[in-house]
Amino acid sequence: MTHSWRGIAAACALSTIAACTLDPAYTRPAAPMPDAYPHHAVSGATGKPAASAMRDDAPVQDAVLSDWQAFVLDPYVRQLVALTLRNNRDLRQAVLQVAEYEAQYRIARSALAPTVAATGTSTAAHDYGATSRSASVQLGFSAWEVDFFGRLRSLKRQALETYLSTDAARRSTQLSLVSTTIADYLTLLSDQSLLDLTQKTVASYQNTYDTTLRTQQLGVGSMEDVQEARTSLTSAMATLASYQRAVEQDTNNLIAAIGCPLPEGFPENRTLPDTPLFADIPAGLPSTLLTRRPDIMEAEHTLKAANAYVGSARAAFFPTITLTATAGTESGKLSSLFKAGTGAWAFEPAISVPIFNYGDLRASLDVAKIEKNIDIAAYEEAIQTAFKEVANGLSGRATYRSQVSADAQYVDAAQQYYAIANGRYLGGLDSFLTLLTAQRTLFTAQTQQIADRLSEMSNLVTLYTALGGGWSAAAVREGSPVQASR
């Protein structure tokens, strides 16, 4: 009996012998991108390096931006993003898919060990006046594949990498939702700013129209001036209606994004603020941080899964060894079931050797290799796309500040121009056309300023997203990814 149990234990120990696999040695493909970002992407309008630009050779002092909560400074925006992440159905599906693939990985991992089951039976039979009884207890495993050539280990590794790829996709979905919610909110603030500006412009045009009408009625002004003033007023009123509609639609879009009504304390008629809503991007972040973007991590885990699948396809060419073994006791009397001499055991190894399969195994291996090459190309494309997005974000960052600063000067000059033109018109020193031109110039300057401020803020959010949505000082030093919070 003791020897039978030792036989099963020895069979189980065979799993430790099968430690080799036929997976190709994995080497991360070289990043198909320049070593540094284009000069214009890290320089200001004057051509000098921007203080906040991303440079491969610049030291980083405590560069920490762990997740979206560290990036978003405005408490209300944080509340909106949190509601989106809690209520969004796409993210909920992504989380469930991660759980599904984690369970599939555990299934693949369990195939490496035998399934051991205990069975107890007791039978009684009556034949020709005689009654016979028997009882047995057995412990064993059935059709357990000994992983000599690493096929099961390759499949386990493939399942693990697929699970990690799915989790990276979940993080990518989360990052996209964060940026989309912020973008919806910024659009609402921008349109509200334009609505407020247009309301003031309509009031100004109304005042101008009333003035020209009174002047014409007094016999001083002309009907042409009245009609020009009326044209400007009605055009501004049409623009006002369009911004009213835009604000309502923006609000609806934001409600749809967060999946519930706007929370209490929503700032009514809030416009684009002068204070920053987001943390600044620290200086000197290396381009190696691109490898921590969720989409790039997803592509690399998919590539590693394909690499492991090649190993399992190679192992299919070799013999498959399965074992069936049982050990236990049998007795005709239940009282004697566990006494000496009642031991029984069985050990049945089996081997399956592929001989002729019409090229099926070779074709399966070819498919696995082709899929790996496809995943290599997808990984390289993800790297190239990430580099382009970051370079464009840095280029916009270096120029939007100069553009918004120039807008402020443009608005100031337009306001002075309007004040002078209005005074000269009221004093009879200038034509109404000059005043009308000054009004339109001021409205155009103020509209452009709002649009450029929106573009500047949106570009910062885009750059944050392009960089992968957070990093730590250690990740910057090592060029290694950090896990974003769930």
Token couple for 198: 């247009």
CATH class of the domain at 31-112+150-316+359-478: mainly alpha
Bigger pLDDT: 484 or 366?
366
Q: For residue 294, which of 171, 138, 439 has the smallest C-alpha distance?
A: 171
| Cβ atoms 147, 216 nearer than 8 A | no
Each as own residue / partner, the long-range contacts of residues 253-256 (CB below 8 Å, 24 or more positions apart, any chain) are 253/184, 253/187, 253/188, 254/80, 254/181, 254/184, 254/185, 254/188
**pLDDT class for 58, splitting at 50, 70, 90?**
very low
Task: Identify the H or E element spanning 361.
Answer: helix 360-426
Lowest mean pLDDT among 189-193, 223-227, 264-268, 365-369: 264-268
CA atoms of 99 and 103, how far apart (whole Å): 6
Supply the DSSP string of 305-329, one letter for each residue: HHHHHHHHHHHTTS-EEEEEEEEEE
Q: What backbone phi and psi angles, to 5 degrees, belong to 265? A: 90, 10
CATH of domain 1-28+114-146+319-353: 2.20.200.10
Q: Which whole number is the average pLDDT over 286-314?
A: 88
Task: Identify the H or E element spanning 198.
Answer: helix 151-217
Per the DSSP assignment, residues forming a β-bridge with 135 are 122, 331
Query: Residue ranges per domain, the chain?
Result: 1-28+114-146+319-353, 31-112+150-316+359-478
Q: Check pLDDT > 80 for residue 187.
A: yes
**pLDDT class for 43, splitting at 50, 70, 90?**
low
Residue 466 identity: A
Q: Check pLDDT > 80 for residue 64.
A: no
3-state helix, strand, coil in the chain (%, to 5): 60, 10, 25
Bigger pLDDT: 349 or 203?
203
